[in-house]
Structure 1
Amino acid sequence: MDRSFALRSDATTRFARRCRGLTAGTRSPSLPSAFQRHRLTLMIRLADAEATGASLRELARIVSPAMPAMSAAAWKASSERRHIQRLRRETAAMIAGGYRALLMGGDKKAR
């Protein structure tokens, strides 16, 4: 047995229960919280948009659709710009292998 055996076993049991029409059972504590699922969803959307050539401002609109229009100088100093840059770094780290820690139930924040 390897260190991920228990995780795979739990996932298999939950999947088998769902296939039989039963509830999946108790939620594993290693699963992401609602906030973490939302953030991971944002990261996937950012990765997809960035892969199609979206600009930094376009990425920011994905995260904050109500972001006000602003001048280039205001954008450069904005908290929205810093926020999207942090999310881009976390997204890149997740793509580079940070997702493995998430799957193993470890630290869910990409580094």
Structure 2
Amino acid sequence: MAALIPLDETVLLRLAGLLRLKRRLDRHSAGPLPSAWQITARLRRRLLIMIRALDGHLEGASYREVAKALHGPEAVGRFPWKTSSIRGQTIRLVADAVAMMDGGYRKLLRASR
């Protein structure tokens, strides 16, 4: 088995991934994740919410319907929809999720997010 690794700005991360793969192929623990691959609890929560928002968006739900699923009908109905901060958050979540789906997920593997 051989691996071809481009000598670009992510070469060290690629090598770390390759070493983890080699350890697993040798039936050992992969070892700790490189710090660039570690996701904070806050980002993990946001990514999960983005997935839920994207699911609703791809099923044809309106932003208001997505917001109700994410935050509950009481929170959505508390303020006028057009000026609600929940509306803005929902639109950003969907936009970020679509961008992630369209290839932005690769940024999660790079050292700088």
Structure 1 length-normalised TM: 0.71
| 2:77 corresponding residue in structure 1 | 70
What is the alpha-carbon root mean square deviation over aligned residues? Answer: 2.5
Give the whole-Å Cα distance in 1 for the aligned partners of 2:17 and 2:56. 30
- Residues in 1 aligned to 2:68 and 2:21: alpha-carbon distance in whole angstroms: 36
User: Structure 1 segments of 4 or more deviating over 3 A?
Assistant: 15-19
Q: 3-state DSSP class of the match of 2:106?
A: helix
Q: Quote the offset at 1:25 in angstroms.
A: 2.0
The yes-or-no answer on 1:30 pairing with 2:30 is no
Q: Distance in 1 between matches of 2:93 and 2:104?
A: 13
**Structure showing greater Rg:** 2
- Residue 103 in structure 1 maps to residue 109 in structure 2: yes
Partner Cα separation in structure 1 for residue 73 and residue 22 of structure 2:
44
Matched residues in 2 for 1:38 and 1:62: separation? 16
- For normalisation by structure 2, the TM-score amounts to 0.70
Flag structure 1 segments of 5+ consecutive residues without an equivalent: none
Instruction: Note closer, same or farther for the CA distance 1:26–1:42 as it changes in structure 2 (3 Å cut).
Output: same
DSSP 3-state at the match of 1:30: helix
Gapped runs of 5+ residues in structure 2?
A: 1-6
Q: Tell me, what secondary structure is at the counterpart of 1:89?
A: helix
Cα offsets for 1:26-76 (capped at 9, x unmatched) = 232112212111211221222222111111122113432x340628x7222
- Residues paired across the two proteins, number: 104
Match of 1:87 in 2: 93
Of 46, 50, 56 in structure 1, the residue corresponding to residue 63 of structure 2 is 56
What is the percent sequence identity of the aligned residues?
37
Checking the alignment, whether the CA contact within 8 Å between 2:57 and 2:94 is kept in structure 1 is no
Cα distance in 2 for residues equivalent to 1:49 and 1:18 = 37
Q: For residue 56 of structure 1, what is the amino acid of its counterpart?
A: Y
